[in-house]
Chains A and B, each alone.
Chain A
Amino acid sequence: MTGHPAARPIPTDLERLAGLAIVPRRYYGRWVAAAIILLLFAWVVKAFAEGQIAWKVVGQFLTAPAILNGLVNTVIMTACAMTLGIVLGVLFAIMYMSPNPVLRGSALFYIWFFRGTPLLLQLLLWFNLALVFPRIGIPGLIEFRTIDLITPFVATLLGLGMNQGAYTAEVVRSGILSVDLGQSEAAKSIGMTRLTTLRRIILPQAMRVIIPPVGNEFISMVKLTSIASVIQYSEILRNAQTIYYANARVIELLIVAAIWYLAVVTLLQIGQFFLERYFSRGRGERRSRQKANRGIAAGGPP
Chain B
Amino acid sequence: MNAQPAPIVVAHQVSKRFGPLLALNGVSLSIAPGTVQCIIGPSGSGKSTFLRCLNQIEKIDAGAILIDGELIGYRRVGDTLRELSDAEIARQRLATGMVFQRFNLFHHMTALENIIEGPVTVLRRSRREAVDEAMALLARVGLTDKRDAYPIEMSGGQQQRVAIARALAMRPRIMLFDEPTSALDPELVGEVLAVMRDLARSGMTMIVVTHELGFAREVAHDVVFMDRGEIIEQGPPAQVLLSPQQARTREFISAVLT
Contact = CB atoms under 8 A, between A and B. Distances in A.
Interface of A: 180, 182-183, 185-194, 196, 200-201, 204-205, 279, 281-283, 285-286
Interface of B: 55-57, 86-87, 90-91, 93-94, 96-98, 100, 102, 104-110, 117-118, 121-123, 150-153, 163, 166-167, 170
Nearest to A194: B86
B118 A191 contact: yes
A281 B55 CA distance: 30
A182 B96 CA distance: 17
Interface centre among B57, B91, B96, B163 (most CB of A within 10 A): B57
11 contacts: A183-B104, A185-B104, A186-B105, A186-B106, A189-B93, A189-B100, A190-B167, A191-B94, A192-B121, A200-B117, A282-B108
B106 A183 contact: yes
A196 B109 CA distance: 16
A156 B105 CA distance: 44
Given A190-B170, A193-B86, A283 B152 contact: yes
Nearest to A282: B150
Nearest to B107: A282
Contact of A191 (B90, B106, B150): B90
Nearest to A204: B108
A183 B117 CA distance: 13
B90 A192 contact: yes
Nearest to B110: A282
A183 B122 contact: no
Contacts of B87: 193
Contact of A190 (B109, B110, B166): B166
B111 to A, nearest CB: 11
Given A183-B107, A193-B86, A200 B150 contact: no
Given A193-B87, A281-B150, A285-B153, A188 B104 contact: no
4 closest A-B pairs by CB:
A282-B150, A190-B118, A189-B98, A186-B104
Interface majority SS (helix, strand, loop, mixed), chain A: helix
A128 B151 CA distance: 54
Nearest to B92: A191
B86 A200 contact: no
B100 A188 contact: no
Contacts of B118: 190-192
Contacts of A193: 86-87, 90
A282 B107 CA distance: 6
B57 A188 contact: yes
B10 to A, nearest CB: 20
A96 B5 CA distance: 48
Nearest to B118: A190
Nearest to B56: A188
Given A188-B56, A285-B152, 7 more contacts: A189-B96, A189-B100, A192-B90, A193-B87, A201-B106, A282-B150, A285-B153
A282 B152 contact: yes
Q: Most A CB atoms within 10 A — which of B57, B105, B107, B110?
A: B107
Contacts of A286: 152
Listed residue (A193, A204, A205, A286) with the most chain B CB atoms within 10 angstroms of its CB: A193
A285 B108 CA distance: 12
B107 A190 contact: no
Contact of B57 (A185, A200, A281): A185
Max chain B C-beta neighbours (<10 A), residue from A190, A192, A283: A190
Given A186-B100, A196-B121, A200-B117, A191 B153 contact: no
Contacts of A185: 57, 98, 100, 104
